[in-house]
Structure 1
Amino acid sequence: MQTLYRRLLRLMPRLGVQVTDLGPGTAVVSRRGRRARIPLGPGADLLVRDDGRYSVSDAGKDTWLVLGGKARTAAGPAPEWTGVPLGDTGARLLLDRRADADERRIQLAAAEYLCAQHVAAMLELYGVNCVFDVGANTGQYARRLRRLGYTGRIVSFEPTADAFARLSKAARNDPDWQVHHCGLGREDTVTSIHTGWKTMNSLLPPSDYGRDRYRRFATTRTEEIEIRRLDGVMEQALAGIEEPRPYLKMDTQGYDLEVFAGAGARIADFVGLQSEVAVLRLYEGSPPMSEAVAAYEAEGFEITGMYPVTREAATGRVVEFDCVMMRAKAAPATD
Protein backbone atom coordinates (compact mmCIF):
# COMPACT_ATOMS: atom_id res chain seq x y z
CA MET A 1 0.00 0.00 0.00
CA GLN A 2 1.43 3.36 -1.05
CA THR A 3 2.12 6.01 1.56
CA LEU A 4 0.72 9.53 1.21
CA TYR A 5 4.29 10.71 0.50
CA ARG A 6 4.60 8.42 -2.52
CA ARG A 7 1.19 9.44 -3.83
CA LEU A 8 2.21 13.08 -3.70
CA LEU A 9 5.38 12.36 -5.63
CA ARG A 10 3.36 10.66 -8.37
CA LEU A 11 0.88 13.54 -8.53
CA MET A 12 3.39 16.39 -8.91
CA PRO A 13 4.49 15.70 -12.53
CA ARG A 14 0.85 16.10 -13.59
CA LEU A 15 1.03 19.64 -12.16
CA GLY A 16 4.09 20.49 -14.26
CA VAL A 17 6.58 19.88 -11.46
CA GLN A 18 9.59 17.58 -11.90
CA VAL A 19 10.39 15.27 -8.97
CA THR A 20 13.69 13.44 -8.45
CA ASP A 21 13.41 10.76 -5.78
CA LEU A 22 16.64 10.53 -3.77
CA GLY A 23 15.60 7.76 -1.42
CA PRO A 24 13.37 7.13 1.56
CA GLY A 25 11.84 10.43 2.64
CA THR A 26 14.02 12.56 0.35
CA ALA A 27 13.22 14.15 -3.00
CA VAL A 28 14.12 17.23 -5.04
CA VAL A 29 11.28 19.23 -6.56
CA SER A 30 11.96 21.56 -9.51
CA ARG A 31 9.77 23.53 -11.87
CA ARG A 32 11.74 23.41 -15.12
CA GLY A 33 13.91 20.79 -16.78
CA ARG A 34 14.59 17.22 -15.88
CA ARG A 35 17.19 16.26 -13.32
CA ALA A 36 19.66 13.41 -13.39
CA ARG A 37 21.26 11.73 -10.42
CA ILE A 38 24.95 10.84 -10.87
CA PRO A 39 26.45 8.54 -8.21
CA LEU A 40 29.87 9.80 -7.13
CA GLY A 41 30.68 7.10 -4.65
CA PRO A 42 29.45 5.57 -1.41
CA GLY A 43 27.11 8.04 0.26
CA ALA A 44 27.48 10.79 -2.34
CA ASP A 45 25.38 11.66 -5.39
CA LEU A 46 25.39 14.64 -7.72
CA LEU A 47 22.08 16.06 -8.92
CA VAL A 48 22.37 17.94 -12.25
CA ARG A 49 20.12 19.17 -15.03
CA ASP A 50 19.69 16.29 -17.44
CA ASP A 51 20.96 17.91 -20.64
CA GLY A 52 24.47 16.49 -20.91
CA ARG A 53 26.12 19.73 -19.84
CA TYR A 54 28.18 18.32 -16.98
CA SER A 55 30.87 15.71 -16.45
CA VAL A 56 32.26 14.33 -13.21
CA SER A 57 35.88 13.30 -12.63
CA ASP A 58 37.27 11.38 -9.68
CA ALA A 59 40.08 13.48 -8.17
CA GLY A 60 41.10 11.30 -5.23
CA LYS A 61 39.54 9.92 -2.09
CA ASP A 62 36.13 11.53 -1.44
CA THR A 63 36.94 14.25 -4.02
CA TRP A 64 35.16 14.87 -7.33
CA LEU A 65 35.40 17.59 -9.92
CA VAL A 66 32.29 18.78 -11.75
CA LEU A 67 32.94 20.42 -15.13
CA GLY A 68 30.59 22.25 -17.45
CA GLY A 69 30.22 21.24 -21.07
CA LYS A 70 32.49 24.02 -22.31
CA ALA A 71 35.37 22.66 -20.30
CA ARG A 72 34.88 19.20 -21.80
CA THR A 73 34.72 20.41 -25.38
CA ALA A 74 37.65 22.84 -25.20
CA ALA A 75 40.50 22.30 -27.64
CA GLY A 76 43.20 19.90 -26.55
CA PRO A 77 43.15 16.68 -24.55
CA ALA A 78 40.87 16.35 -21.56
CA PRO A 79 42.48 17.17 -18.18
CA GLU A 80 43.65 14.33 -15.96
CA TRP A 81 42.72 15.52 -12.49
CA THR A 82 44.23 14.43 -9.22
CA GLY A 83 43.72 15.63 -5.66
CA VAL A 84 46.86 16.39 -3.63
CA PRO A 85 46.46 16.61 0.18
CA LEU A 86 47.94 19.77 1.71
CA GLY A 87 49.67 18.32 4.73
CA ASP A 88 47.34 17.46 7.60
CA THR A 89 45.05 20.49 7.06
CA GLY A 90 42.24 18.45 5.50
CA ALA A 91 42.48 20.61 2.37
CA ARG A 92 43.26 19.21 -1.07
CA LEU A 93 44.86 20.88 -4.08
CA LEU A 94 43.27 19.91 -7.39
CA LEU A 95 45.81 19.52 -10.20
CA ASP A 96 45.91 18.38 -13.77
CA ARG A 97 48.44 15.53 -13.68
CA ARG A 98 50.32 17.22 -16.51
CA ALA A 99 50.80 20.46 -14.53
CA ASP A 100 54.22 19.26 -13.34
CA ALA A 101 55.46 20.03 -16.84
CA ASP A 102 55.28 23.78 -16.04
CA GLU A 103 56.63 24.08 -12.51
CA ARG A 104 57.13 27.86 -12.68
CA ARG A 105 53.55 28.72 -13.63
CA ILE A 106 52.00 26.45 -11.03
CA GLN A 107 54.31 27.79 -8.32
CA LEU A 108 53.44 31.40 -9.15
CA ALA A 109 49.72 30.63 -9.25
CA ALA A 110 50.00 28.91 -5.87
CA ALA A 111 51.93 31.88 -4.47
CA GLU A 112 49.24 34.32 -5.64
CA TYR A 113 46.54 32.21 -3.99
CA LEU A 114 48.48 31.81 -0.74
CA CYS A 115 49.29 35.53 -0.59
CA ALA A 116 45.62 36.46 -0.93
CA GLN A 117 44.64 33.97 1.77
CA HIS A 118 47.38 35.25 4.09
CA VAL A 119 46.37 38.90 3.61
CA ALA A 120 42.73 38.05 4.35
CA ALA A 121 43.82 36.24 7.53
CA MET A 122 45.97 39.21 8.65
CA LEU A 123 43.15 41.69 8.03
CA GLU A 124 40.91 39.61 10.25
CA LEU A 125 43.54 38.99 12.95
CA TYR A 126 44.46 42.67 13.25
CA GLY A 127 40.90 43.95 12.99
CA VAL A 128 41.59 46.01 9.86
CA ASN A 129 38.61 48.18 8.94
CA CYS A 130 40.07 50.27 6.10
CA VAL A 131 42.32 49.10 3.26
CA PHE A 132 44.20 51.74 1.26
CA ASP A 133 44.50 50.21 -2.23
CA VAL A 134 47.26 52.25 -3.90
CA GLY A 135 47.82 51.43 -7.56
CA ALA A 136 44.35 49.95 -7.86
CA ASN A 137 44.33 49.58 -11.66
CA THR A 138 40.81 48.30 -12.49
CA GLY A 139 40.01 47.04 -8.98
CA GLN A 140 41.38 43.49 -9.10
CA TYR A 141 42.79 43.61 -5.56
CA ALA A 142 39.64 45.06 -3.99
CA ARG A 143 37.39 42.54 -5.72
CA ARG A 144 39.59 39.72 -4.43
CA LEU A 145 39.31 41.05 -0.88
CA ARG A 146 35.53 41.04 -1.16
CA ARG A 147 35.52 37.46 -2.46
CA LEU A 148 37.66 36.44 0.52
CA GLY A 149 35.17 37.92 2.98
CA TYR A 150 36.60 41.33 3.86
CA THR A 151 33.64 43.67 4.52
CA GLY A 152 35.39 46.82 5.76
CA ARG A 153 36.12 50.01 3.86
CA ILE A 154 38.33 50.02 0.78
CA VAL A 155 39.85 53.26 -0.53
CA SER A 156 41.36 52.83 -4.01
CA PHE A 157 43.71 55.20 -5.82
CA GLU A 158 44.30 54.98 -9.58
CA PRO A 159 45.79 57.85 -11.62
CA THR A 160 45.33 56.72 -15.26
CA ALA A 161 42.09 57.62 -17.02
CA ASP A 162 41.23 54.32 -18.71
CA ALA A 163 41.91 52.18 -15.64
CA PHE A 164 40.07 54.63 -13.37
CA ALA A 165 36.95 54.47 -15.54
CA ARG A 166 36.88 50.69 -15.14
CA LEU A 167 37.68 50.97 -11.43
CA SER A 168 34.75 53.33 -10.91
CA LYS A 169 32.43 50.91 -12.64
CA ALA A 170 33.66 48.02 -10.49
CA ALA A 171 33.04 49.98 -7.27
CA ARG A 172 29.71 51.47 -8.33
CA ASN A 173 27.49 49.10 -6.34
CA ASP A 174 29.75 48.80 -3.28
CA PRO A 175 28.85 51.60 -0.82
CA ASP A 176 31.99 51.12 1.28
CA TRP A 177 34.45 51.18 -1.62
CA GLN A 178 35.77 54.69 -2.36
CA VAL A 179 37.75 55.47 -5.52
CA HIS A 180 40.06 58.44 -6.15
CA HIS A 181 41.41 59.55 -9.51
CA CYS A 182 44.99 60.28 -8.46
CA GLY A 183 48.25 58.63 -7.54
CA LEU A 184 50.10 58.90 -4.25
CA GLY A 185 53.68 60.01 -3.71
CA ARG A 186 56.17 62.04 -1.70
CA GLU A 187 54.61 65.42 -2.58
CA ASP A 188 51.48 66.99 -4.02
CA THR A 189 52.22 67.60 -7.68
CA VAL A 190 51.22 67.04 -11.29
CA THR A 191 53.48 64.79 -13.35
CA SER A 192 53.52 62.30 -16.23
CA ILE A 193 53.10 58.55 -16.06
CA HIS A 194 54.14 55.98 -18.68
CA THR A 195 51.05 54.19 -19.97
CA GLY A 196 50.21 51.48 -22.46
CA TRP A 197 51.95 48.83 -20.36
CA LYS A 198 48.72 47.11 -19.20
CA THR A 199 48.97 46.59 -15.42
CA MET A 200 52.59 47.82 -15.36
CA ASN A 201 52.09 51.56 -15.98
CA SER A 202 54.75 53.44 -14.01
CA LEU A 203 55.98 56.91 -13.15
CA LEU A 204 59.48 55.50 -13.72
CA PRO A 205 61.07 54.58 -17.07
CA PRO A 206 61.98 50.93 -17.68
CA SER A 207 65.46 49.73 -16.82
CA ASP A 208 67.67 47.95 -19.34
CA TYR A 209 66.69 44.70 -17.65
CA GLY A 210 63.00 45.63 -17.93
CA ARG A 211 63.29 46.38 -21.65
CA ASP A 212 64.97 43.03 -22.24
CA ARG A 213 62.28 41.19 -20.29
CA TYR A 214 59.07 42.85 -21.54
CA ARG A 215 58.31 43.77 -25.14
CA ARG A 216 55.57 46.13 -23.93
CA PHE A 217 58.28 48.55 -22.73
CA ALA A 218 59.50 49.07 -26.32
CA THR A 219 56.81 51.69 -26.96
CA THR A 220 55.19 54.06 -24.52
CA ARG A 221 52.96 57.08 -24.25
CA THR A 222 52.53 59.42 -21.31
CA GLU A 223 49.56 60.84 -19.45
CA GLU A 224 49.49 63.80 -17.09
CA ILE A 225 48.26 62.79 -13.63
CA GLU A 226 47.73 64.22 -10.16
CA ILE A 227 49.85 63.02 -7.22
CA ARG A 228 48.77 63.50 -3.60
CA ARG A 229 50.52 62.79 -0.31
CA LEU A 230 49.02 59.91 1.69
CA ASP A 231 48.85 61.94 4.90
CA GLY A 232 46.78 64.54 3.04
CA VAL A 233 44.01 62.11 2.08
CA MET A 234 43.73 60.07 5.26
CA GLU A 235 41.18 62.22 7.10
CA GLN A 236 38.69 61.94 4.22
CA ALA A 237 39.40 58.24 3.71
CA LEU A 238 38.88 57.35 7.37
CA ALA A 239 35.92 59.66 8.04
CA GLY A 240 33.15 57.92 9.94
CA ILE A 241 35.28 55.02 11.20
CA GLU A 242 35.21 55.21 15.00
CA GLU A 243 38.48 53.40 15.70
CA PRO A 244 40.44 53.24 12.42
CA ARG A 245 42.80 50.32 11.90
CA PRO A 246 44.09 50.89 8.35
CA TYR A 247 46.19 48.64 6.12
CA LEU A 248 48.31 49.98 3.25
CA LYS A 249 48.56 47.99 0.01
CA MET A 250 50.99 49.41 -2.57
CA ASP A 251 51.50 48.16 -6.13
CA THR A 252 52.88 51.14 -8.02
CA GLN A 253 55.54 49.59 -10.27
CA GLY A 254 58.68 50.78 -8.49
CA TYR A 255 57.13 53.79 -6.72
CA ASP A 256 56.06 52.19 -3.42
CA LEU A 257 58.71 53.89 -1.26
CA GLU A 258 57.55 57.28 -2.57
CA VAL A 259 53.99 56.44 -1.51
CA PHE A 260 55.29 55.32 1.88
CA ALA A 261 57.26 58.55 2.35
CA GLY A 262 54.13 60.57 1.64
CA ALA A 263 52.48 59.16 4.76
CA GLY A 264 54.90 61.09 6.98
CA ALA A 265 54.29 60.60 10.69
CA ARG A 266 50.87 59.12 9.98
CA ILE A 267 52.46 55.87 8.85
CA ALA A 268 52.26 55.02 12.57
CA ASP A 269 48.47 54.76 12.17
CA PHE A 270 48.76 51.70 9.91
CA VAL A 271 48.70 48.22 11.42
CA GLY A 272 50.12 46.57 8.31
CA LEU A 273 51.24 46.99 4.74
CA GLN A 274 51.83 45.12 1.51
CA SER A 275 54.45 46.14 -1.03
CA GLU A 276 55.80 44.71 -4.29
CA VAL A 277 59.56 44.61 -3.72
CA ALA A 278 62.09 44.06 -6.49
CA VAL A 279 64.99 41.61 -6.54
CA LEU A 280 65.68 42.39 -10.20
CA ARG A 281 64.63 45.95 -10.97
CA LEU A 282 62.30 46.54 -13.91
CA TYR A 283 62.30 50.37 -13.52
CA GLU A 284 65.07 52.95 -13.39
CA GLY A 285 65.35 54.51 -9.94
CA SER A 286 63.26 51.91 -8.13
CA PRO A 287 64.72 50.75 -4.80
CA PRO A 288 66.17 47.26 -4.37
CA MET A 289 64.30 44.88 -2.08
CA SER A 290 66.80 45.33 0.78
CA GLU A 291 66.32 49.12 0.82
CA ALA A 292 62.53 48.91 0.71
CA VAL A 293 62.25 46.29 3.44
CA ALA A 294 64.70 48.21 5.66
CA ALA A 295 62.59 51.37 5.35
CA TYR A 296 59.43 49.49 6.32
CA GLU A 297 61.16 47.75 9.24
CA ALA A 298 62.48 51.09 10.52
CA GLU A 299 58.85 52.16 11.01
CA GLY A 300 57.95 49.07 13.02
CA PHE A 301 56.62 46.68 10.38
CA GLU A 302 57.75 43.04 10.37
CA ILE A 303 57.51 40.45 7.62
CA THR A 304 54.71 37.90 7.88
CA GLY A 305 54.84 36.61 4.31
CA MET A 306 56.89 36.78 1.09
CA TYR A 307 55.37 35.49 -2.16
CA PRO A 308 57.06 35.49 -5.60
CA VAL A 309 55.15 37.51 -8.20
CA THR A 310 57.33 36.79 -11.23
CA ARG A 311 60.20 34.44 -11.96
CA GLU A 312 62.54 34.07 -14.91
CA ALA A 313 61.70 30.96 -16.90
CA ALA A 314 65.30 30.42 -18.02
CA THR A 315 67.06 30.81 -14.65
CA GLY A 316 64.37 30.42 -11.99
CA ARG A 317 65.38 33.74 -10.40
CA VAL A 318 62.63 35.69 -8.63
CA VAL A 319 62.07 39.13 -10.15
CA GLU A 320 59.63 40.53 -7.57
CA PHE A 321 58.01 39.49 -4.31
CA ASP A 322 54.75 40.51 -2.69
CA CYS A 323 55.91 41.40 0.82
CA VAL A 324 53.29 41.40 3.59
CA MET A 325 54.29 43.12 6.83
CA MET A 326 52.38 43.77 10.05
CA ARG A 327 53.04 45.89 13.13
CA ALA A 328 53.30 43.13 15.74
CA LYS A 329 52.62 45.57 18.58
CA ALA A 330 49.20 46.24 17.01
CA ALA A 331 48.12 42.60 17.22
CA PRO A 332 45.18 42.06 19.57
CA ALA A 333 45.99 40.71 23.00
CA THR A 334 45.40 36.99 23.51
CA ASP A 335 44.45 35.23 26.72
Structure 2
Amino acid sequence: MTPVRRLLEMMADPGPQATGPATRGLQSLASEYLCHHHIGEMLDLYRVNCVFDVGANVGQFAGELRELGYTGRIVSFEPASAAFAQLSRAAAGDPDWQVHQLALGREERAGFIHTGWDTMNSLLAPSDYGRGRYERFTETRTEAVRVRRLADVIDEALAGVDEPRPFLKMDTQGYDLEVFKGAGDRTGDFVGLVSEVALLPLYEGCPPMSEAVAEYQAAGFEVTGLYSVSRESTTGRVVEFDCVMMRARAAPEPGWGD
Protein backbone atom coordinates (compact mmCIF):
# COMPACT_ATOMS: atom_id res chain seq x y z
CA MET A 1 0.00 0.00 0.00
CA THR A 2 1.40 3.42 -0.93
CA PRO A 3 1.87 6.24 1.60
CA VAL A 4 -1.00 8.13 -0.03
CA ARG A 5 -3.47 5.30 0.55
CA ARG A 6 -2.21 4.61 4.09
CA LEU A 7 -2.55 8.28 4.97
CA LEU A 8 -6.09 8.54 3.57
CA GLU A 9 -7.14 5.41 5.48
CA MET A 10 -5.71 6.74 8.75
CA MET A 11 -7.33 10.14 8.22
CA ALA A 12 -10.69 8.49 7.52
CA ASP A 13 -10.48 6.28 10.61
CA PRO A 14 -7.82 7.46 13.09
CA GLY A 15 -9.27 5.30 15.85
CA PRO A 16 -10.69 6.27 19.22
CA GLN A 17 -7.25 6.94 20.74
CA ALA A 18 -5.50 8.93 18.00
CA THR A 19 -2.67 10.01 20.29
CA GLY A 20 0.89 8.97 21.03
CA PRO A 21 2.31 6.45 18.51
CA ALA A 22 -0.82 6.67 16.34
CA THR A 23 -0.49 10.42 16.01
CA ARG A 24 3.23 10.17 15.28
CA GLY A 25 2.51 7.59 12.60
CA LEU A 26 -0.03 9.90 11.02
CA GLN A 27 2.44 12.80 11.12
CA SER A 28 5.11 10.66 9.46
CA LEU A 29 2.77 9.57 6.70
CA ALA A 30 1.59 13.16 6.19
CA SER A 31 5.20 14.32 5.79
CA GLU A 32 5.90 11.54 3.29
CA TYR A 33 2.71 12.37 1.41
CA LEU A 34 3.60 16.07 1.20
CA CYS A 35 7.18 15.29 0.14
CA HIS A 36 6.11 13.00 -2.70
CA HIS A 37 3.52 15.46 -3.95
CA HIS A 38 6.10 18.24 -3.87
CA ILE A 39 8.51 16.08 -5.87
CA GLY A 40 5.72 15.35 -8.36
CA GLU A 41 5.11 19.07 -8.71
CA MET A 42 8.84 19.72 -9.30
CA LEU A 43 9.06 16.94 -11.91
CA ASP A 44 6.20 18.61 -13.77
CA LEU A 45 7.52 22.15 -13.36
CA TYR A 46 11.03 21.24 -14.57
CA ARG A 47 9.76 18.93 -17.35
CA VAL A 48 11.69 15.96 -15.96
CA ASN A 49 11.69 12.97 -18.32
CA CYS A 50 14.01 10.54 -16.50
CA VAL A 51 14.21 9.79 -12.77
CA PHE A 52 17.30 8.04 -11.38
CA ASP A 53 15.93 6.03 -8.44
CA VAL A 54 19.06 5.21 -6.41
CA GLY A 55 18.41 2.96 -3.43
CA ALA A 56 15.17 1.70 -4.91
CA ASN A 57 14.55 -1.08 -2.37
CA VAL A 58 11.43 -2.87 -3.71
CA GLY A 59 10.20 0.01 -5.89
CA GLN A 60 8.11 2.05 -3.46
CA PHE A 61 9.26 5.45 -4.74
CA ALA A 62 8.85 4.56 -8.41
CA GLY A 63 5.39 3.16 -7.74
CA GLU A 64 4.43 6.37 -5.96
CA LEU A 65 5.62 8.43 -8.95
CA ARG A 66 3.42 6.41 -11.28
CA GLU A 67 0.47 6.87 -8.93
CA LEU A 68 1.10 10.62 -9.00
CA GLY A 69 0.95 10.61 -12.79
CA TYR A 70 4.62 10.69 -13.80
CA THR A 71 4.92 8.85 -17.14
CA GLY A 72 8.59 9.38 -18.02
CA ARG A 73 11.48 6.96 -17.69
CA ILE A 74 12.51 5.58 -14.31
CA VAL A 75 15.90 3.91 -13.83
CA SER A 76 16.12 2.10 -10.48
CA PHE A 77 19.30 0.90 -8.75
CA GLU A 78 19.14 -1.62 -5.90
CA PRO A 79 22.10 -3.81 -4.84
CA ALA A 80 20.53 -6.19 -2.27
CA SER A 81 19.40 -9.41 -3.96
CA ALA A 82 16.15 -10.02 -2.04
CA ALA A 83 14.95 -6.44 -2.53
CA PHE A 84 16.07 -6.49 -6.17
CA ALA A 85 13.97 -9.59 -6.87
CA GLN A 86 10.86 -7.77 -5.64
CA LEU A 87 11.85 -4.63 -7.51
CA SER A 88 12.17 -6.60 -10.75
CA ARG A 89 8.68 -8.02 -10.31
CA ALA A 90 7.25 -4.57 -9.60
CA ALA A 91 8.80 -3.13 -12.77
CA ALA A 92 8.00 -6.08 -15.03
CA GLY A 93 4.82 -4.62 -16.52
CA ASP A 94 6.21 -1.12 -17.04
CA PRO A 95 8.19 -0.78 -20.29
CA ASP A 96 9.78 2.54 -19.27
CA TRP A 97 10.98 1.40 -15.85
CA GLN A 98 14.52 -0.04 -15.95
CA VAL A 99 16.10 -1.86 -13.00
CA HIS A 100 19.78 -2.56 -12.25
CA GLN A 101 21.24 -4.64 -9.44
CA LEU A 102 23.96 -2.17 -8.53
CA ALA A 103 25.11 0.10 -5.75
CA LEU A 104 26.39 3.54 -6.72
CA GLY A 105 29.26 5.34 -5.03
CA ARG A 106 32.28 7.58 -5.39
CA GLU A 107 34.34 4.96 -7.25
CA GLU A 108 33.92 1.62 -8.97
CA ARG A 109 34.73 -1.23 -6.60
CA ALA A 110 33.52 -4.44 -5.02
CA GLY A 111 31.74 -3.88 -1.73
CA PHE A 112 29.42 -5.33 0.90
CA ILE A 113 25.95 -4.24 1.94
CA HIS A 114 24.42 -4.89 5.36
CA THR A 115 21.10 -6.65 4.83
CA GLY A 116 18.20 -7.88 6.89
CA TRP A 117 17.22 -4.34 7.91
CA ASP A 118 14.11 -4.14 5.73
CA THR A 119 14.12 -0.70 4.03
CA MET A 120 17.29 0.36 5.89
CA ASN A 121 19.93 -1.89 4.27
CA SER A 122 23.17 0.07 3.94
CA LEU A 123 26.74 -0.08 2.72
CA LEU A 124 27.62 1.55 6.06
CA ALA A 125 27.67 -0.08 9.50
CA PRO A 126 25.24 1.30 12.11
CA SER A 127 26.46 4.02 14.44
CA ASP A 128 26.21 3.74 18.21
CA TYR A 129 23.20 6.04 18.00
CA GLY A 130 21.63 3.86 15.30
CA ARG A 131 22.07 0.67 17.34
CA GLY A 132 20.46 2.36 20.31
CA ARG A 133 17.50 3.51 18.21
CA TYR A 134 16.77 0.42 16.11
CA GLU A 135 16.80 -3.12 17.47
CA ARG A 136 17.05 -4.45 13.90
CA PHE A 137 20.67 -3.21 13.78
CA THR A 138 21.77 -5.69 16.45
CA GLU A 139 21.78 -8.51 13.89
CA THR A 140 23.10 -8.17 10.38
CA ARG A 141 24.13 -10.15 7.35
CA THR A 142 26.39 -8.91 4.59
CA GLU A 143 26.15 -9.51 0.88
CA ALA A 144 28.73 -8.82 -1.82
CA VAL A 145 27.69 -6.06 -4.25
CA ARG A 146 29.12 -4.23 -7.21
CA VAL A 147 29.56 -0.47 -6.80
CA ARG A 148 29.70 1.77 -9.87
CA ARG A 149 29.98 5.52 -10.42
CA LEU A 150 26.87 7.45 -11.39
CA ALA A 151 28.90 9.20 -14.10
CA ASP A 152 29.52 5.83 -15.76
CA VAL A 153 25.86 4.81 -16.01
CA ILE A 154 24.21 8.11 -17.00
CA ASP A 155 24.54 7.78 -20.76
CA GLU A 156 23.17 4.24 -20.86
CA ALA A 157 20.26 5.23 -18.62
CA LEU A 158 19.37 8.23 -20.81
CA ALA A 159 19.73 6.45 -24.15
CA GLY A 160 16.71 7.19 -26.31
CA VAL A 161 15.38 9.99 -24.09
CA ASP A 162 14.72 13.11 -26.16
CA GLU A 163 16.29 16.26 -24.67
CA PRO A 164 16.96 14.56 -21.32
CA ARG A 165 16.08 16.44 -18.15
CA PRO A 166 16.96 13.94 -15.38
CA PHE A 167 16.16 14.08 -11.66
CA LEU A 168 18.22 12.22 -9.03
CA LYS A 169 16.48 10.50 -6.12
CA MET A 170 18.85 9.12 -3.46
CA ASP A 171 17.81 7.01 -0.48
CA THR A 172 20.88 4.92 0.33
CA GLN A 173 20.89 4.98 4.13
CA GLY A 174 23.79 7.32 4.82
CA TYR A 175 25.55 6.87 1.46
CA ASP A 176 23.82 9.59 -0.62
CA LEU A 177 26.77 11.98 -0.72
CA GLU A 178 29.04 9.19 -1.98
CA VAL A 179 26.51 8.52 -4.75
CA PHE A 180 26.46 12.22 -5.64
CA LYS A 181 30.24 12.52 -5.70
CA GLY A 182 30.34 9.57 -8.10
CA ALA A 183 28.57 11.76 -10.66
CA GLY A 184 31.62 14.01 -10.94
CA ASP A 185 31.12 16.74 -13.55
CA ARG A 186 27.88 15.08 -14.63
CA THR A 187 26.02 16.56 -11.64
CA GLY A 188 25.29 19.42 -14.03
CA ASP A 189 23.12 17.07 -16.10
CA PHE A 190 20.49 16.87 -13.34
CA VAL A 191 17.78 19.50 -12.93
CA GLY A 192 17.03 18.42 -9.36
CA LEU A 193 17.51 15.89 -6.60
CA VAL A 194 16.12 14.56 -3.36
CA SER A 195 18.44 13.25 -0.66
CA GLU A 196 17.88 11.85 2.82
CA VAL A 197 20.05 14.04 5.06
CA ALA A 198 20.89 13.28 8.68
CA LEU A 199 20.82 15.43 11.80
CA LEU A 200 21.40 12.38 14.02
CA PRO A 201 23.46 9.87 11.99
CA LEU A 202 22.22 6.29 12.09
CA TYR A 203 25.29 4.97 10.22
CA GLU A 204 29.04 5.24 10.71
CA GLY A 205 30.55 7.71 8.27
CA CYS A 206 27.24 9.32 7.36
CA PRO A 207 27.88 13.06 6.81
CA PRO A 208 25.85 15.59 8.79
CA MET A 209 23.03 17.43 7.04
CA SER A 210 25.04 20.67 6.89
CA GLU A 211 27.88 19.01 4.96
CA ALA A 212 25.62 17.20 2.51
CA VAL A 213 23.46 20.25 1.75
CA ALA A 214 26.57 22.41 1.31
CA GLU A 215 27.92 19.96 -1.30
CA TYR A 216 24.64 19.99 -3.20
CA GLN A 217 24.44 23.79 -3.05
CA ALA A 218 28.01 24.11 -4.32
CA ALA A 219 26.92 22.09 -7.36
CA GLY A 220 24.12 24.58 -8.09
CA PHE A 221 21.09 23.03 -6.35
CA GLU A 222 18.78 25.06 -4.09
CA VAL A 223 16.37 23.83 -1.42
CA THR A 224 12.70 23.75 -2.40
CA GLY A 225 11.43 21.56 0.44
CA LEU A 226 12.42 19.81 3.70
CA TYR A 227 10.29 16.99 5.09
CA SER A 228 10.97 15.07 8.30
CA VAL A 229 11.53 11.35 7.80
CA SER A 230 11.78 10.34 11.46
CA ARG A 231 12.03 11.96 14.87
CA GLU A 232 12.65 10.93 18.46
CA SER A 233 9.43 10.35 20.36
CA THR A 234 11.04 11.25 23.69
CA THR A 235 12.66 14.57 22.67
CA GLY A 236 10.99 15.58 19.40
CA ARG A 237 14.37 15.89 17.68
CA VAL A 238 14.34 15.22 13.94
CA VAL A 239 16.63 12.34 12.98
CA GLU A 240 16.52 12.73 9.19
CA PHE A 241 14.96 14.99 6.56
CA ASP A 242 14.14 14.39 2.92
CA CYS A 243 15.71 17.42 1.24
CA VAL A 244 14.34 18.35 -2.20
CA MET A 245 16.61 20.62 -4.25
CA MET A 246 16.31 21.99 -7.78
CA ARG A 247 18.65 23.80 -10.15
CA ALA A 248 16.64 27.03 -10.44
CA ARG A 249 18.44 28.06 -13.62
CA ALA A 250 17.15 24.87 -15.26
CA ALA A 251 13.50 25.86 -14.82
CA PRO A 252 11.96 26.12 -18.31
CA GLU A 253 10.82 29.47 -19.58
CA PRO A 254 7.03 29.89 -19.79
CA GLY A 255 5.79 28.21 -22.94
CA TRP A 256 8.90 26.03 -23.29
CA GLY A 257 8.11 22.87 -25.21
CA ASP A 258 4.46 23.88 -25.84
- Rounded to whole Å, the distance in 1 between the matches of 2:13 and 2:29 is 12
Unaligned runs of 5+ in 2: 1-8
The TM-score, its normalising length taken from structure 1, stands at: 0.71
Q: Deviations over 1:129-158 (max 9, x none)?
A: 000000000000000000000000000000
Unaligned runs of 5+ in 1: 1-80, 83-92
**Helix, strand or coil: the match of 1:321?**
strand
Q: Which residue of 1 aligns with 2:198?
A: 278
Query: CA shift at 1:108, angstroms?
Result: 1.2
- Rounded to whole Å, the distance in 1 between the matches of 2:29 and 2:56 is 20
- Rounded to whole Å, the distance in 2 between the matches of 1:164 and 1:265 is 29
Opposite residue 256 of structure 1, the aligned amino acid is D
Q: Which residue of 2 aligns with 1:89?
A: none
- Rounded to whole Å, the distance in 1 between the matches of 2:94 and 2:27 is 33
Identity over aligned pairs, percent? 66
Query: Are 1:298 and 2:218 an aligned pair?
Result: yes
Query: Are 1:121 and 2:69 an aligned pair?
Result: no
- Rounded to whole Å, the distance in 2 between the matches of 1:325 and 1:311 is 21
Q: Deviations over 1:86-127 (max 9, x none)?
A: xxxxxxx65637465133222211101000110000000000
Query: CA shift at 1:242, angstroms?
Result: 1.6
- Rounded to whole Å, the distance in 2 between the matches of 1:109 and 1:142 is 17
* Correspondence for 1:101 among 8, 19, 27: 19
* Correspondence for 2:111 among 186, 191, 208: 191
Kindly name which structure, 1 or 2, has the bigger radius of gyration based on alpha carbons: 1
The TM-score, its normalising length taken from structure 2, stands at: 0.92
Say if 1:185 and 1:258, in contact at 8 Å, map to a contact too: yes
**Helix, strand or coil: the match of 1:121?**
helix
Opposite residue 206 of structure 2, the aligned amino acid is S
Query: Are 1:146 and 2:66 an aligned pair?
Result: yes
Opposite residue 101 of structure 1, the aligned amino acid is T
Q: Deviations over 1:157-200 (max 9, x none)?
A: 00011111110010001000000011100011111111111111
Give the structure, 1 or 2, with the largest relative contact order (CA under 8 Å, sep 6 or more): 2
Matches within 5 A, 1:1-335: 94=12, 96=14, 98=16, 100-102=18-20, 103-334=23-254
Question: How many pairs does the alignment contain?
Answer: 245
Opposite residue 301 of structure 1, the aligned amino acid is F
- Aligned CA RMSD, in angstroms, stands at 1.6
Opposite residue 214 of structure 1, the aligned amino acid is Y
The structure where strand makes up a greater share of residues is 1
Opposite residue 111 of structure 1, the aligned amino acid is S
